[in-house]
Amino acid sequence: MADLIIFITLLAMGYGFGRYAESRHYASIREREKDLNSIPAIASRIPPQGNPNFDSQLVSGSVVISVDYFKRFIAGLRNLVGGRMSSYETLLDRARREAILRMKTEARNLSAEYVFNLKLETASIHKGKGNSIGSVEVVAYGTALIPNR
């Protein structure tokens, strides 16, 4: 009985705090994406031809986001029955976009015009008891093209 109360409390806390953090994060992501839209991040390896007056430099951004108790529980059940792991989809979506934003911020600080050869890497950094993935790291890196005047 006491176990059940603790379990429900943890679930409710995970849900409440997790939802709050997520909606705030998404709001901030949307706002900064609009702001940084002027710097396109392009996956192509080949820089634009015909304009050689660019300096290039490596830029990167990384982020680690933790899953909450509620999401982990849903994911655990999903493991049994299969299907779309929607509780982790938002987690990875946020992490990817945040990493790109951090990379672009660095590019803006260098007054870059483009980021070329964008790459993303993902790692689960915590495998807790029972191998449940606790948090995820996403690294975004690319080559910033800085016009030289």
Q: Which residues are near other proteins by CB under 8 A?
A: 1, 3-4, 7, 15, 19, 30, 33-34, 37, 40, 69-81, 84, 86-87, 89-90, 93, 129-132
Q: Which is nearer to other proteins, 92 or 110 (CB)?
A: 92
Does residue 134 contact residue 101 with C-beta atoms inside 8 Å?
no
In the complex, minimum distance from the CB of residue 95 to other proteins, in angstroms, rounded to a whole number: 11
Q: Which is nearer to other proteins, 78 or 108 (CB)?
A: 78
In the complex, minimum distance from the CB of residue 128 to other proteins, in angstroms, rounded to a whole number: 9
Q: Is 60 left (phi over 0), alpha (psi -120 to 50) or beta?
A: beta
Selection from 52, 55, 92 nearest residue 75 by Cα: 92
- Distance between CA atoms of residues 135 and 143, nearest Å: 27
Q: Which is nearer to other proteins, 90 or 117 (CB)?
A: 90
Element of type H or E holding 22: helix 2-35
Q: Which is nearer to other proteins, 79 or 109 (CB)?
A: 79
In the complex, minimum distance from the CB of residue 79 to other proteins, in angstroms, rounded to a whole number: 6
In the complex, minimum distance from the CB of residue 4 to other proteins, in angstroms, rounded to a whole number: 7
- Distance between CA atoms of residues 46 and 58, nearest Å: 15
Instruction: Tell me the residue ranges of DSSP E strands in the chain.
Output: 54-66, 114-124, 135-147
